[in-house]
Chains A and B, each alone.
Chain A
Amino acid sequence: MRRLRVVWTVFYLYLKQISVDWFVIFTVIVQPLIVALLALYMLRDTEGFQAIFVIVGSAMTGLWSGTLFFSSFNIEFERWTGNLENIVGSPTHLATVIVGKTLANTTMSLSSMVLGYSLAALLFNFQLTIAYPFLFFISLLLTVLALISLGLVIAPLMATNPGATVWANALEFPVYIVGGFLFPVLLLPIWTTPISYALSPYWAARALHATSSGGVPLSDVLLSWVMLIVFSVAYWFISAWLFSVLLRRAREEATLGMQ
């Protein structure tokens, strides 16, 4: 119960903080909207075009960029502002605080889906219907769970390897590609398919596209859900191990606040 209260407090305070942060606003709102506009113009004359596919795909770009950038700097930001020692020294586990922050980041990132939907409906007058609303809602919940779990891996990974944060920029578009957010991964060389399968954003996009655009058997949706759950559980174990490494190193080397 105490942990939940901490998660809620961190979530609430951090959501207030990032909702006025211009970098966050760009990453989760402006950039996905421009990507949505680009994709709508590029794809609208194709055979079998579905605007909902573009909205869901561009929202996935916002969700992934948000997860990547904010998780990369979740712990680093506390280090820069001199708060990391205080958080680690408090009775609450560092991971609990980061869960609250990651939840706030993902919530903020979800706004890109709502705004993209509004943009396509108002600006382009597209008829937007979600084929299976209930299944889509479950897919969305599992997507959020998977991305939060992935964020909990990225945060301690970047904090234990501060040099790795420079790669955050470089990892944004590759996952847009192998994640199949806006075009089928079948277009890519065959050797990239295992990379797609090994990433939870791919299964998230697959589940969301299948339940929003329709035309896919239920077994395919179930497979994506199972994969999202499997990845989430795996990420939690990896994350727990990375947090323990981070905190052990901090005690052994006394480098927690060093940048």
Chain B
Amino acid sequence: MNKLIASLRIFVSGAWLAYIGLFRWTEPASYVASKVVMPLSQILFFTFLGVSATGRQTAEFYIVGNALQVAAINGIYGVTMTVGRERNEGTLIYLIGSPANRLVVFMGRATFNILDGMLAVVLGFMWGVLLLGLDLSTANLAGLSLTILVTTASTCGLGLLMGSVSLVALNVMFINNTVYFLLLLFSGANIPLATLPAWMQTVSAALPLTRGIRAGRLFVRGASLADVWPLLVGELAVGLAYALVGFVLFSWFETQARRRGPLEAF
């Protein structure tokens, strides 16, 4: 019982401190700039670009796609930073030296990013309604909420993998930035997947966000959970697969670090 309580304490306090300290939210202005203004301007840019191509009647397609894409800011940047910056800040050696349960420590890094990512997506939809005239009157809001949770969690799964890579990569921000922008291309946020070449559709099927965005669009049109649940299960499975690979890599790097001592050598 004591072990369980200790693990729970590590999970919550570790997750919170890592989120605040390593994702750099000690300055409120930094949060507003990166989590409010930047996503809003990105939604506006891609919606106007899409509308210029296909007309105002298609605005919903771009608003929903890009509002859900905002989840990747937390999923990719947030989670990677809360895992990878342990090395930059010189605290990785203490983390590895502690007796804390590794799975609890690792998964905990995603917790507050999921909550914060969900808030960012909700804010994205709010901008869509207030500024771009998104109509949610016929939407299945419960289904949409579930989609936001599942999509944010699945992008955090990818983030956990990227975070593990960042423990050994020299410049993970380059990889992060590239992955984030490639998601804009491959996830279907801005381009209908059917219009992409076959190889791009195959890649997009293996990525988080793809099914989440499709589910989101269906729920905005009022679809029921019975129709959409396979997409949500698929989205969750993709995210879990990435998280699992991330944890395996994290454990392998730790074993290598203990065996060969290159913990902070990269």
Contact between A42 and B48 (Cβ–Cβ < 8 Å)?
no
Contact between B34 and A30 (Cβ–Cβ < 8 Å)?
no
> Does B38 touch A at the CB level, under 8 Å?
yes
Checking B33, B42, B196 against A166 with a beta-carbon cut-off of 8 angstroms, the contacting residue is: B33
Cα of A38 to Cα of B34 in the assembled complex, Å: 22
Interface residues of A in 149-170 (CB under 8 A from B): 163, 166-167, 169-170
For residue B32, which residues in chain A have a CB less than 8 angstroms away from its CB? Answer: 170
Contact between A169 and B38 (Cβ–Cβ < 8 Å)?
yes
Checking B45, B53, B174 against A173 with a beta-carbon cut-off of 8 angstroms, the contacting residue is: B45
Interface size class of B (residues with CB under 8 A): 20 to 34
> Does A26 touch B at the CB level, under 8 Å?
yes
Contact between A183 and B52 (Cβ–Cβ < 8 Å)?
yes
> Does A191 touch B at the CB level, under 8 Å?
no
> Does A31 touch B at the CB level, under 8 Å?
yes
Interface size class of A (residues with CB under 8 A): 20 to 34
For residue A46, which residues in chain B have a CB less than 8 angstroms away from its CB? Answer: 52-54
Q: Report the nearest B residue to A37, measured CB to CB.
A: B185
> Does B161 touch A at the CB level, under 8 Å?
no
Contact between A34 and B171 (Cβ–Cβ < 8 Å)?
no
Cα of A38 to Cα of B182 in the assembled complex, Å: 9
For residue B34, which residues in chain A have a CB less than 8 angstroms away from its CB? Answer: 166, 169-170
Contact between A42 and B33 (Cβ–Cβ < 8 Å)?
no
Checking A31, A34, A170, A184 against B41 with a beta-carbon cut-off of 8 angstroms, the contacting residue is: A170
Contact between B190 and A23 (Cβ–Cβ < 8 Å)?
no
> Does B91 touch A at the CB level, under 8 Å?
no
Checking A31, A34, A170 against B37 with a beta-carbon cut-off of 8 angstroms, the contacting residue is: A170
Cα of A22 to Cα of B172 in the assembled complex, Å: 10
Cα of A43 to Cα of B184 in the assembled complex, Å: 15
Contact between B185 and A166 (Cβ–Cβ < 8 Å)?
no
Contact between B45 and A31 (Cβ–Cβ < 8 Å)?
no
Q: What are the interface flags for A171-197 relative to B under an 8 Å C-beta threshold, 1 for contact and 0 otherwise?
A: 011101100001110011000000000
For residue A30, which residues in chain B have a CB less than 8 angstroms away from its CB? Answer: 174, 177-178, 181
Interface residues of B in 149-180 (CB under 8 A from A): 171, 173-174, 177-178
Residues in chain B within 8 A of chain A (CB atoms): 27, 29-30, 32-34, 37-38, 41-42, 44-46, 48-54, 171, 173-174, 177-178, 181-182, 184-185, 190-191, 195-196
Q: 29 A–B contact pairs at CB < 8 A?
A: A22-B173, A22-B174, A23-B174, A26-B174, A26-B177, A30-B174, A34-B185, A38-B46, A38-B190, A41-B195, A43-B49, A46-B52, A166-B27, A166-B29, A166-B33, A169-B38, A172-B38, A173-B38, A174-B37, A176-B41, A176-B45, A177-B41, A177-B44, A182-B49, A183-B48, A183-B51, A183-B52, A187-B48, A188-B48
